[in-house]
Structure 1
Amino acid sequence: MEALAVRLSGLDPYVDGALRIVAFYDTLMRRRVDLPALARASAGLAECVAGIRLHGTGRAIRVAPDGREPSGPPAAASTTVPITLDDEEIGTVWLERPGTPGPLDSVLLDRLAIAAASAVERYGPASTTMADPALVELAISADSDEAARARALRLLGFAPGLPVHVLAVRARLPLDRIGSMVCPAGQVKAAPLADVGVILATGVDPARLPPGARAGMGAADSPDRSWRQARTALRFTTRRRPVVRYAELGALALLADVPPEAARDNADVAAVDRIAGNPDDLETLDAYCSTGSLRRAADLLHLHHSSIARRLEQIAKILDIDLTDPTGLMRARLALTTWRLLGS
């Protein structure tokens, strides 16, 4: 191959220059350089400002021939080439050459685009927590095929074969801060999606979720199924139980599929709705259902057990359920959980 290149270069100076550019970028790719290094090398080779932009991050890397960031405002691109990965345009590379484009600028940018796509596939985009919502939605959507999902995860920076945990989050703190908290060491990406935040992470520590935030965690290996499970688990969270794993719900997860009309028509759920008008009674019922013990409920609410007993007596009359009976307690728990799901 090298002998053929030498023979061709002797026939045409343009071919000689093109072959040198190809060899230049082949060397950079063998050295596994990242996007900033590619931009610096390209600017030095072209002797003008070179730029790289990924659609997923929106951030542009612009480098002057001296290897520094250009001091002036961006000039109009003299030549532009798209960056393509798996038949999808993921970004753009360009040169800002004053005057007319050079005869080899298109060759240089073609090779830069190939090298940039290789770097993106290897390293992923810039290591920020927030990600393009469209890319995240592609990774977790049930409508995505497996090839598109794998490509989206790769562009988000997740290596093939590694498990990706999916969380559905509601919180007042910014999603990027929450993502960094629950996954301080591994790869993590976050994005708002409709009415809830999405966090994708290679590892999750639920104990690090900040106060006031709530999160549901999916259990499935596939991100799309895990996302559906995470949304369901989020509906089961409470002030006392801010993190719910779908795998821990078991048969309770079936309650999320009960039609709202059927739930509202249930006598036990309707009775809980009447109790909800009194916050103290609702808090007492919640504590008793959570602990299954009058004394533990009293300790949880910092009240005397006789006060809890009186409240539970009145609550039992409204519910028309014997709360001291195991079956009655189970009915109350199911009714309270179903009532919460109606408002989730």
Structure 2
Amino acid sequence: MNDLALRLAALDPEAGAAVRVIGHFDALTEARADLRSIVRDAAGLAGCPARLVDPARGLLVRVPADGAVNAASDPVVDPAWPSTPVPGTDAVLWLEQPGPPGTVQAVVLERAAAAVRTVLQRTRSRRPVDDPASVELVLDATAPESDRLAAARRLGVATTGRAVALAGGRYLVVGIDGVLPEGVRAGVGPAAAVVDLPASGEHARLALRLTAEGTEDDPGPRVVHADQLGALPLLVRAADGAAVPDVRALEHAATIGPWALATLDAVASATSLRDAARALHLHHSTLQDRLSHAETALGWDVREPAGRLRLQLALVLRRAARHQR
């Protein structure tokens, strides 16, 4: 495939790039890549954010072009974006850019959708087994290893899985590509061997604290993956029990209007103010006006890189404090 791509590139660079895309997604499929990896690579190869939406499974995965995987907090898509249905499913893959796709982007959509279809077929029946006793046993580091392995098999997890912490105090143990329950906040622990799933459960518990209800009062992602958090857990633990001035400033900003927190969260999450306005369904000038009021209440400029980072951290710590129990 690489030799063919090189020969085609000498004749037609776009055709050569398209062949490389085909080979790339074929390799992902052969390696049994998960959905997040497929959407991430689609974004990178297309040079724009990519989004997978599967309403039947309650699945939304969005990846900006820089590859930072996250669950999409805004399910609204622009019909003008290039998209393709995933054959045999309710899922749709989108590239977040205006206008029709170029040749390479069209190939990215087609091949990524085929790879997604393979994953969904592979995981179609892998919904979490409702067996709280087995889940508790698997996540108990003090239980005998043989008992934990047997409990994992009852849950359909043979060798490797993830712990999932759900709002309300429930836990699940799922396979690597396991389907999460719909409509509930969830913290997803990192993939681990069965014997290491108690640690995955601890990470999932902290990730759950960083989720949000997705409302005006509690904006943010409903699903957070622990393996995407980097050093944030260290910050959260260091701030536990402390009165953080920037969190107090956020609470003060929330009093200026029901739109304030959602506006600030959109600005913190989007790659540009125009993207934030689009996510909020606002005119750009309306967002600018709201942001000026919010910045006055906060006490700092969130449009500068340092101020935006400060806002992002304040939002994270606010969610961690709200969902500590």
TM-score range for the pair, normalised by the shorter chain length: 0.5 to 0.7
* 3-state DSSP of counterpart to 1:250: coil
Counterpart of 1:260 in structure 2 is: 240
Deviations 1:97-118 (A, max 9, x none): xxxxxxxxxxxxxxxxxxxxxx
Counterpart of 2:197 in structure 1 is: 223
Structure-2-length-normalised TM-score: 0.52
* 3-state DSSP of counterpart to 2:282: coil
* 3-state DSSP of counterpart to 1:244: strand
Counterpart of 1:137 in structure 2 is: 136
* 3-state DSSP of counterpart to 2:142: coil
Distance 2:149 2:300 in 1: 51
Shift of 1:135: 3.0
Shift of 1:271: 0.3
Shift of 1:341: 1.1
Counterpart of 2:281 in structure 1 is: 302
Structure-1-length-normalised TM-score: 0.50
* 3-state DSSP of counterpart to 1:164: strand
Counterpart of 1:251 in structure 2 is: 231
* 3-state DSSP of counterpart to 1:237: coil
Shift of 1:152: 3.0
Aligned length: 187
- Computing the radius of gyration over CA atoms, which structure comes out larger, 1 or 2? 1
Counterpart of 1:201 in structure 2 is: 174
1:169 aligned onto 2:166:
yes
Distance 1:205 1:138 in 2: 19
* 3-state DSSP of counterpart to 2:187: strand
Deviations 1:167-224 (A, max 9, x none): 1223xxxxxxxxxxxxxxxxxxxxxxxx322222224355x652x2222211151110
Shift of 1:319: 1.5
**Structure 1: any 5+ residue segments left out of the alignment?**
1-126, 171-194
Equivalent pair of 1:164/1:223 in contact (CA under 8 Å): yes
Matched letter for residue 208 of structure 2? L
* 3-state DSSP of counterpart to 2:133: helix
* 3-state DSSP of counterpart to 2:259: helix
Distance 1:288 1:205 in 2: 32
Shift of 1:307: 1.2
* 3-state DSSP of counterpart to 2:177: coil
Alignment of 1:315-330 (within 5 A): 315-330=294-309
Distance 1:311 1:230 in 2: 35
* Greater relative contact order, per chain length (Cα 8 Å cut-off, separation 6+): 2
Counterpart of 1:336 in structure 2 is: 315
Label 1:284 to 1:304 Cα distance change in 2 as closer, same or farther (>3 A): same
Equivalent pair of 2:189/2:201 in contact (CA under 8 Å): yes
Label 1:300 to 1:141 Cα distance change in 2 as closer, same or farther (>3 A): same
Alignment of 1:24-173 (within 5 A): 129-131=129-131, 133-156=132-155, 158-159=157-158, 162-170=159-167
Matched letter for residue 150 of structure 1? L
Label 1:209 to 1:136 Cα distance change in 2 as closer, same or farther (>3 A): closer
Label 1:279 to 1:255 Cα distance change in 2 as closer, same or farther (>3 A): farther
Counterpart of 1:213 in structure 2 is: 184
Equivalent pair of 2:160/2:191 in contact (CA under 8 Å): no
Label 1:284 to 1:243 Cα distance change in 2 as closer, same or farther (>3 A): same
Matched letter for residue 273 of structure 1? E
* 3-state DSSP of counterpart to 2:170: strand
Shift of 1:145: 4.0
Shift of 1:292: 4.2
**Structure 2: any 5+ residue segments left out of the alignment?**
1-126, 215-219
Matched letter for residue 251 of structure 2? D
Distance 1:282 1:201 in 2: 33
